[in-house]
Structure 1
Amino acid sequence: MTGWPYPRWIAHRGAGKLAPENTLAAFRLGAEHGYRMIECDVKLSADGVPFLLHDAALERTTNGLGTAGDLSWAELSRLDAGSWHSRQHVGETLPSFEAVSRWCRANGMLLNIEIKPTPGSEARTGEVVAREAARLWQGASVPPLLTSFRPEALYTAQATAPHLPRGLLLDSLWDGWVTHAQALGVVALVCNHALWDDALVAVARAHGWRMLSYTVNDEWAAKRLWYLGTDGIITDRVDLFAPA
């Protein structure tokens, strides 16, 4: 990429824990707090429709049962994804990826898309999400950033939409991660914030990779990352950190 078009502060799953995660209600609340970029999780329904949900299972954040990827989009779209959070959000639905794209583009919001496959569907999910992202953001001045913990998903995203920027998510520095990051042509590393130190910063800078961190909810951690010279912070605390 020429330049870095994304802001330093990114709202985790829309508005962190202040609204039901990965819903349009959370996106709206994150925007109300001044955030201009949102992180979300995208997976596939049984009939191949991309939609927002973090877990493989439905129970934690919806009134559904079982594995989300086993249900059709028609079934998933009827679930309540808000009542688990609070009475205020009873009836909030799971949003489709297309609905989120329309909202983001209409409101000038940028998006960090974590490709979050149901186990066993990594390659297919990367392919479909990248294809749909390329279609939905066609002509956009700033494209979405595609990230994943799963290299398999990023490889098919790369093959499907090579022009979309990619980032490798890391919860640990596993053997071979640098080789994969190079082969994937990533523009960023998105790491558990505790991983960042002077040595990892030096590796990222040597390869020209931007440095993002998740999930940063304490002021001391944000200050440490600031002094290390990292580029982006994903946070639940949209009420604590003012993105300006």
Structure 2
Amino acid sequence: MNAPWPYPRWVAHRGAGKLAPENTLAAFRLGAQHGYRMFECDAKLSADGVPFLMHDATLERTTSGRGTGGEQPWHALSQLDAGSWHSRTYAGEPLVTLANAARFCLHNGYLLNIEIKPTPGTERRTGEVVAREAQRLWADQAIPPLLTSFKTEALAAARDTASDLPRGLLLDTLHAGWLDTARDLGCVAIVCNHALWDAQTVAQARAADMRTLSYTVNDEWAAERLVALGTDSIITDRVDLFSPAA
């Protein structure tokens, strides 16, 4: 590899996996209490263009709201309860903007993997706005966030907007031309379903000077296999099972 990899092996999925309401500061804090110093999160846009953290296109599963999150202004989204669905402990936990997540991470020396998760039909705009905001928030920082997405249009927009921010292509299948797609997008990493990595695919990625990341690894046997293959980072829900210091 031409450049040192600045990110740790272990990354906490959506903050603390399933132990706290995903994509909230409460989840980040819990992940940090388990020793994690890098978090993965999902970023999409409100109707008025504010990047905020949420995985689903719709609000019902993880908030007290209804409908499509990207069709509501941030003021309305900020009033929602994003914790009660998980447990009483987190009742009233709010949704969080990318800016607030960044401030938490930067203040505490944590790193971030931002998955660009567009509301369908907003791929390019989401990639542009998230990349621009990340570039602004991490200006002059030694280690920038890693921007990833399944959506090639969003990654292309991020590349065109903030070419200096590192990018990774998310894959759930190794479709024909996957490596060429990553090259064309200027990616530094492939982030794929952990089952897709084997000695051949790891070697292909390495030959292309790309790093190898895996999601979502929740079993010891899977983690051991990925470590033996020499992959670079492992994204997990099981912050209570895997010690990032090990």
TM-score (norm 1): 0.99
Q: Deviations over 1:99-121 (max 9, x none)?
A: 00110000100000000000110
1:188 aligns with 2:195: no
Q: What's 1:124 paired with?
A: 125
Q: Which amino acid in structure 2 is aligned with residue 188 of structure 1?
A: A
Q: What's 1:146 paired with?
A: 147
Q: What's 2:99 paired with?
A: 98
Q: What's 1:225 paired with?
A: 226
SS at match of 1:168: strand
Q: Give, in angstroms, the shift of residue 176 of structure 1.
A: 2.6
SS at match of 2:65: coil
Q: Deviations over 1:105-155 (max 9, x none)?
A: 001000000000001100000000000000000011100000000010000
How many residues align? The count is: 244
1:47 aligns with 2:48: yes
Deviating above 2 A after TM superposition, structure 1's stretches of 4 or more consecutive aligned residues are: none
Q: Deviations over 1:145-201 (max 9, x none)?
A: 000000100000000000000000000011232221111111100010000011101
The runs of 5 or more residues in structure 1 that have no matched partner are: none
SS at match of 1:85: coil
Q: What's 2:33 paired with?
A: 32
Q: Which amino acid in structure 2 is aligned with residue 32 of structure 1?
A: Q
* Distance in 2 (alpha carbons) for counterparts of 1:211 and 1:85: 31
* Distance in 2 (alpha carbons) for counterparts of 1:142 and 1:86: 34
Q: What's 2:3 paired with?
A: 2
Q: What's 1:237 paired with?
A: 238
* Distance in 2 (alpha carbons) for counterparts of 1:176 and 1:56: 28
* Distance in 2 (alpha carbons) for counterparts of 1:226 and 1:147: 22
Q: Which amino acid in structure 2 is aligned with residue 185 of structure 1?
A: G
Q: Which amino acid in structure 1 is aligned with residue 222 of structure 2?
A: A
Q: What's 1:198 paired with?
A: 199
* Distance in 2 (alpha carbons) for counterparts of 1:189 and 1:14: 21
Q: What's 1:88 paired with?
A: 89
Q: Give, in angstroms, the shift of residue 5 of structure 1.
A: 0.4
Q: Give, in angstroms, the shift of residue 2 of structure 1.
A: 2.4
Q: Which amino acid in structure 1 is aligned with residue 223 of structure 2?
A: A
Residues 156-167 of structure 1 aligned to structure 2 (within 5 Å): 156-167=157-168
Q: Which amino acid in structure 2 is aligned with residue 22 of structure 1?
A: N
Q: Which amino acid in structure 1 is aligned with residue 37 of structure 2?
A: R
Residue identity over aligned pairs, in percent, reads 70
C-alpha contact (below 8 Å) 2:43/2:115 kept by paired residues: yes
* Distance in 2 (alpha carbons) for counterparts of 1:225 and 1:4: 17
SS at match of 2:101: helix
* Distance in 1 (alpha carbons) for counterparts of 2:197 and 2:183: 19
Q: What's 1:13 paired with?
A: 14
Q: Give, in angstroms, the shift of residue 231 of structure 1.
A: 0.4
State the Cα RMSD in Å. 0.7
SS at match of 1:59: coil
The runs of 5 or more residues in structure 2 that have no matched partner are: none
Q: Deviations over 1:185-224 (max 9, x none)?
A: 1110001000001110111011011000000000000000
* Distance in 2 (alpha carbons) for counterparts of 1:140 and 1:76: 29
Residues 48-63 of structure 1 aligned to structure 2 (within 5 Å): 48-63=49-64
* Distance in 1 (alpha carbons) for counterparts of 2:27 and 2:105: 12
